[in-house]
Chains A and B, each alone.
Chain A
Amino acid sequence: MTASSPLPSYVPILVLGAIAAGFAILTILFSHLIGRPRSTPAKSATYECGMPPVGTAHARFPVKFYLVCVIFILFDVDAAFLYPWALVFRELGIFGLIEMALFVCILGGGFAYAWKTGALDW
């Protein structure tokens, strides 16, 4: 909340969110009203290049996607700390640089382990 503005700074974001969501809902509703469905069994079948669908879509998937997601969390936390750190690192001086370098190095160790075990090879 800045002193110069009489409005809390998050209020315009709520307004924008309402506009965006309202636009999306109205569009879907409007197209639902004027584009009448004429459904036939063949039309509403799952698309599989024109052939009758085989089995369900929910088969098993490579665990790689899960691993990439875990590594993403690792660096997401890293980024979440880097942003506030970048704000004050001049005040912190060399202490702040070493503090963050150590943090990144420990995470880098985990990253190197993931790299070596092949979690990043597709």
Chain B
Amino acid sequence: MTALTWPQELAIRSALALTVVAFLLGLFSVMTYIERRLLAFMQFRLGPNRTGPLGLFQPVADGIKLFFKEEFVPQAANRWAFIAAPAVAITTALMAVAVIPYGGAVTMPRFDLLPEWLRGRPIPLQIAHLDVGVLYLFAVSTLGVYGIVLAGWSANNKWSLIGALRSSAQMFSYELALGLSWVGPILLAESLRIEDIVACQAGGIHRWNAIIQLPAFMIYLFAATAEVGRLPFDLPEAEAELVAGFHTEYASMKFALLQMAEYVNMITVSVLATDFFLGGWHAPLVSLQSAAGVNLGLLWFGGKTGALLFLFIWLRGTLPRLRYDQLMRFGWKVLVPAAVMHILGTAAVILWLTR
């Protein structure tokens, strides 16, 4: 197979980036429906079931409604910052997906419609192969704070500002534990490329980081739940005390973009948990990897991510909210020291085993 020229490579990457963004936004709207339905069932309600069969068109209806809502900027707000904040939030949320692999390579079919150089070519499902992938992720997740700070500050509303302060303090407290929990898998794979970390876990469930790095996996799950502000860590929008936190004054599509950023972040942390700890697209048993000659990698990947997304919804339907002091205490006095200890311990064990 001939090597690609740079315009061809660029075309493939751009198409992939567009597909991933479109897929994420589609998954976001489906998730809003699934979440409402599942929560309703957990609480012996029906949930949205009027729009279309089983209420399936509910996300479409919501989208149309939000587009036609009145565009609204409060009098006291800093106008440009207020408008820019949702854009910053969704842009940083979408930027994070650049270095994440979504499954092995997919071989393009030999359709006549496709140009000659594309037919039968394996395409790795990853937008950018960066040498410093994990570090890039950490960098982008720290930038996620700006959208929230900007939104809360610019609205010039007490609830927004307090909500933004709380959210940002919570976000960077748990970001640390999140970032530190990745160091264990990096130690094992000796690479900052996420595709290498996934490759390191090939060969069955006993090689998954969820098993051999169980403490790191647990730290990751706690930290990820808090990082994306889901129950029981949804202090940013504790509606009983803060109205709606940093997006109190937002309406119409700007509100939708902030909401979208939150869901995209939730999907991202689930995908990352799959890649870092659950073996990515590798099956728990090697014999289950392919059926009838077809590689089931994508199916395994989707299944694991879906299970994690369900876990987030399940938690929301089950647990009450923490108090802010409990939240900060747990993050700083338990998770961060535990993560650092775990890294040094893992390193010592690896050195001892490879003596």
CB-CB < 8 A to B161: which residues of A?
Answer: 57-58
Say whether chain A's binding surface is mostly helix, strand, loop, or mixed.
Answer: helix
A46-72 vs B, CB cutoff 8 Å, 1 = contact: the mask equals 111100010011110100010011011
Q: State how many angstroms separate the Cβ of B137 from the closest Cβ of chain A.
A: 10
Chain A residue nearest to B8 in the complex (CB): A6
CB-CB < 8 A to A83: which residues of B?
Answer: 134-135, 138, 183, 186, 192
CB-CB < 8 A to B97: which residues of A?
Answer: 16
Say whether chain B's binding surface is mostly helix, strand, loop, or mixed.
Answer: helix
CB-CB < 8 A to B191: which residues of A?
Answer: 87
Chain A residue nearest to B176 in the complex (CB): A75
CB-CB < 8 A to B253: which residues of A?
Answer: 27-28, 30-31, 35
B98 at the interface (CB under 8 A from A): yes
A90:B158 contact, CB within 8 angstroms: no
Chain A residue nearest to B253 in the complex (CB): A31
Instruction: Determine the distance from Cα of A94 to Cα of B74 in the docked complex, in whole angstroms.
Output: 60
Which of A27, A45, A76, A79 contacts B257, CB < 8 Å?
A27
A10-37 vs B, CB cutoff 8 Å, 1 = contact: the mask equals 1111011101110111011011101111
B91 at the interface (CB under 8 A from A): yes
Which of A20, A34, A59, A101 contacts B91, CB < 8 Å?
A20
Which of A20, A45, A89, A115 contacts B347, CB < 8 Å?
A89
Q: State how many angstroms separate the Cβ of B351 from the closest Cβ of chain A.
A: 6
Instruction: Determine the distance from Cα of A34 to Cα of B63 in the docked complex, in whole angstroms.
Output: 13
B interface, size bucket: 35 or more
B142 at the interface (CB under 8 A from A): yes
Instruction: Determine the distance from Cα of A38 to Cα of B191 in the docked complex, in whole angstroms.
Output: 55
Which of B66, B157, B176 contacts A48, CB < 8 Å?
B157
Interface size on A, residues (CB 8 A): 73
Known: A6-B5, A94-B351. A47 touches B90 (CB 8 A): no
B252:A31 contact, CB within 8 angstroms: yes
CB-CB < 8 A to A15: which residues of B?
Answer: 10, 13-14, 17, 127
CB-CB < 8 A to B66: which residues of A?
Answer: 31
B128:A16 contact, CB within 8 angstroms: yes
Instruction: Determine the distance from Cα of A44 to Cα of B68 in the docked complex, in whole angstroms.
Output: 18
- Chain-A contact segment, one of B109-117, B209-217, B275-283, B328-336: B328-336
CB-CB < 8 A to A45: which residues of B?
Answer: 74-76
Which of B129, B165, B332, B343 contacts A61, CB < 8 Å?
B165
Instruction: Determine the distance from Cα of A15 to Cα of B209 in the docked complex, in whole angstroms.
Output: 32
A106 at the interface (CB under 8 A from B): no
Give B residues with C-beta under 8 Å from A. 3-6, 9-10, 13-14, 16-18, 20-21, 25, 66-76, 83, 86-87, 90-91, 94-95, 97-99, 127-131, 134-136, 138, 142, 155-161, 165, 169, 172-173, 175-176, 179-180, 183, 186-187, 190-192, 243, 248-249, 252-254, 256-257, 324-325, 328-329, 332-333, 336-337, 340, 343-344, 347-348, 350-351, 354
Give A residues with C-beta under 8 Å from B. 2, 4-7, 9-13, 15-17, 19-21, 23-25, 27-28, 30-32, 34-39, 41, 43-49, 53, 56-59, 61, 65, 68-69, 71-72, 75-76, 78-80, 82-83, 86-90, 93-94, 97, 100-101, 104, 108, 111, 115, 120-122
